[in-house]
Amino acid sequence: MHTLEFENVTKSYGHEVVIDDLTFTVQPGRVTGFLGPNGAGKSTAMKVLLDLASADQGRATIGGRRYRETTDPARSVGVVLEPNAFHPGRSGRNHLRVLADGAGIDAARIEEMLESVGLTHAADRHVGGYSLGMRQRLGLAAALLGDPPVLVLDEPGNGLDPQGIRWLRDLLRERAAAGGTVFMSSHILAEVEHLADEIVVLSHGRLVTTGTLAELQQSGTSVRTAAAEPLTQLLTAAGATVHSGAEGELVVRGIGIAEVGDRACAAGIALHELSPRAGSLEELFLDWTSIDPHPDDTTGTTMTTEPERQARTL
Amino acid sequence: MTTRRGLVRGEIRKLTTTKLPWGFLAAIVVIAGLDAAIVAFATDMDGSKAFVATAADQQSLMAFASNAMIGASLFGAIAVAREYGHHTVVPMFLTSPDRTRAVLAQLAAVLMGGALLAFLGQALVVTGVALALPSTDHGFLLSGGDLVRLFAATTFAGAIGAGFGAGLAALIRNTGGAVTTAFLVLFVIPPLAAQMFSEAGSWIPNALFAVISGVSADVSLWAALLTVGAWAVVPAAAGLVAVQRRDVV
């Protein structure tokens, strides 16, 4: 089985810590979305996984092995990483031929992949004349050339038209259903919401949360009280994120529903409603990534969702 | 399965599927044309064609090795540095995470490309001169042995130059920087060194390739071959080490 594992991975460039003690697992048979704001460290984490960048500490493995130990990389891991990793003066077909030569893949597979991504008509044109979507399709064709069981994709939906997005969604679902490991970063939250079984969220290089999307979406609490302000302060100090909902209720994430009730009770705050609340991925994402991932020790304001606790104890 | 042979084939395909080699070939055609024009139309101060009167003169005129090294160094520098510029180094190292193997395959392809371009350049120069000589009172005087030596020296120079440029590019990872450095190291530093230290004059690429081409005998052939070889080996080895240690960003 091809599980991807990050174990205490830390990576710095100069004095800037880009990834900080990152630990999580990506399971086969699932589509795992990798989320985070720009500069959160997603691409760097993928580069560490693929041995394009070396970790300062920790290790990232694919099926228990470093990428560089993979004997047949093209048939093991398909990668879309750099959106423009093509020579603009080379044709799409020749780009794939170069990769197929290096990986010892039969030339017939090139035509198959061009057909599959809908690029046959443009295969002999220079990549420099391709649109972003066409380059993305070519990148996907390259990733799938060796029919690998693991896919590591950085923003694979970028520039794709709705048909392309649909095709990609079906493809990734199919791969995961066949037992493959699909690990993809994306900024298109609605797409991730449709596609991902699990998500991993980074912010400022640190793991914010990870878990099953369905569970995480249920992890909020809706609270009604006359003492909204003191309760907000109380829960925020306990590490929760609190914001006002559309109907004047407080939406609390980061601590469990029981803890919300217990803390309010201990503080003598009367609650008029305390109920579980589902949230959209966008709402959750904004909550997760608005948390300061480097809290100073005195305030202790850290995100402490159950999935995160689980992740940190891996 | 990723094999050395497959990697080299892929690298050769990279070189042959862009306009880069055609650009260099066009430059070589121009140089060969200029050589032919010189033979056909230029004269010595006294109005004679004494500069092509003897076999040694003709061999000196047709010796292309030094130019081949400079041209091939630019070819090697551009071929490798553009991999970083276009980020095609990412799929290269994904296909072969063993970077030593990937870089050696790339070097092998670039060396072959440089050698082939140099060989073609020498062939065009010889052909141009041979075609121009009938317009003078002198015939083509080079023996088969002379020609073999010229071609061998130039092909070797092409490979060395390409290795030198490729090594610099792997270190610098920027096309402009690699080309400028190759140009400075081959064009500016050797004459300066020769001016500052008179004995250095025999060890600069121009002088060494004159020895290898059979045009001069300032140093022994083996010493010239080894010294010229070092021009490629040192930057290529440094590039290889740098590639191992650096992140691909």
Chain A (187-226) residues lying within 8 Å, Cβ to Cβ, of chain B: none
pLDDT by residue for chain B (249 residues), tens only, comes to 788 899 999 999 999 999 999 999 999 999 999 999 999 999 988 888 899 999 999 999 999 998 999 999 999 999 999 999 999 999 999 999 999 999 999 999 999 999 999 999 999 999 999 999 999 989 999 999 999 999 999 999 999 999 999 999 999 999 999 999 998 998 888 888 888 888 888 898 889 998 998 888 889 999 999 999 998 899 999 999 999 999 987
Q: Both A18 and A161 in a single domain? A: yes
pLDDT in tens, chain A (314 residues): 699 999 999 999 999 999 999 999 999 999 999 999 988 999 999 999 999 999 999 999 999 999 999 989 999 999 999 888 999 999 999 999 999 999 999 999 999 999 999 999 999 999 999 999 999 999 999 999 999 999 999 999 988 999 999 999 999 999 999 999 999 998 888 888 889 999 999 999 999 889 888 777 777 889 999 999 999 999 999 988 888 877 888 988 888 889 999 999 999 999 999 998 877 788 778 877 775 555 544 333 333 333 443 333 33
Helix axes B144-172, B99-132, angle to 10 degrees: 140
Q: Kindly give the pairing relationship between strand A241-244 and strand A271-277.
A: unpaired
A43 touching chain B per CB within 8 A: no
Containing structural domain, residue A281: 215-312
**In this complex, which of B3, B87, B97 lies closest to A68 when CB atoms are compared?**
B97
Contact A87 B87 (CB under 8 A): no
Q: Is residue B92 less than 8 Å (CB to CB) from chain A?
A: yes
DSSP states of A154-189? ESTTTT--HHHHHHHHHHHHHHHHTT-EEEEE-S-H
DSSP bridge pairs for A120:
none
A70, A87, A101 ranked by CB distance to B10: nearest: A101
Amino acid of residue A50: L
How far apart are the two ends of chain B, measured CA to CA in Å?
26
Provide, as residue numbers in chain B, all residues whose Cβ is less than 8 Å from the Cβ of A73: 2, 94-97
* Substitution target from B19, B94, B106 for chain A, most A beta carbons within 10 A: B94
Burial label, B145 (beta-carbon count in 10 A; 0-12, 13-18, 19+):
exposed
Query: Nearest residue on chain B to A73, judged by CA atoms?
Result: B95
Contact B2 A104 (CB under 8 A): yes
A105: nearest CA partner in chain B: B1
Do A272 and A170 fall into the same domain?
A: no
A262 touches chain B (CB under 8 A): no
Interface of B with A in 184-213 (CB under 8 A): none
Q: Do A46 and A152 meet the contact criterion of CB atoms below 8 Å apart?
A: yes
A47 in the same domain as A192: yes
Q: List B59's β-bridge partners, or say none.
A: none
Select from A163, A195, A212 the last residue of a domain: A212
Our count of domains for chain A comes to 2
Q: What is the CATH number of the domain that holds A294?
A: 3.30.70
A158 and A48 housed in the same domain = yes
Handedness of CA A22, A285, A150, A48 (dihedral sign): negative
Among A191, A212, A233, give the residue marking a domain's end.
Answer: A212
Q: Which residue has the tokens 């909550």?
A: A287
The Cα of A237 is separated from the nearest Cα of chain B by a number of Å equal to 40
Residues A51 and A191 in one domain: yes
C-beta of residue A35 within 8 angstroms of C-beta of residue A199: yes
Report the distance separating Cα A285 and Cα A187, nearest Å. 10
Predicted TM-score (pTM) of the model is: 0.85
Chain B closest-CA separation from residue A289 CA (Å): 25
Examine the domain organization and report whether A117 and A248 are in the same domain.
no
Q: Enter the tokens of residue A299.
A: 């305030």
Identify whether residues A14 and A70 lie together within a single domain: yes
Distance set, CA A29 to CA A1, A15, A73, A166, B149 (Å): 9, 38, 20, 19, 64
Q: Which pair of structure tokens corresponds to residue A228?
A: 């909204």
Task: Judge if A115 and A233 occupy the same domain.
Answer: no
CB within 8 Å: A97 and B86: no
Give me the helices (H) in chain B, please. 4-16, 20-41, 55-62, 65-85, 89-95, 99-132, 144-172, 175-183, 189-196, 205-212, 221-245
Q: Break chain B into its structural domains and give their ranges.
A: 4-245
Please tell me if residue A227 touches chain B, with a CB cutoff of 8 Å.
no
CATH number of the domain bearing residue A151: 3.40.50.300
Picking from A192, A212, A232, the residue at the C-terminal end of a domain is: A212
Provide ipTM, 2 decimals.
0.89
**pLDDT tens-digit series, residues B135-185:** 998 999 999 999 999 999 999 999 999 999 999 999 999 999 999 999 899
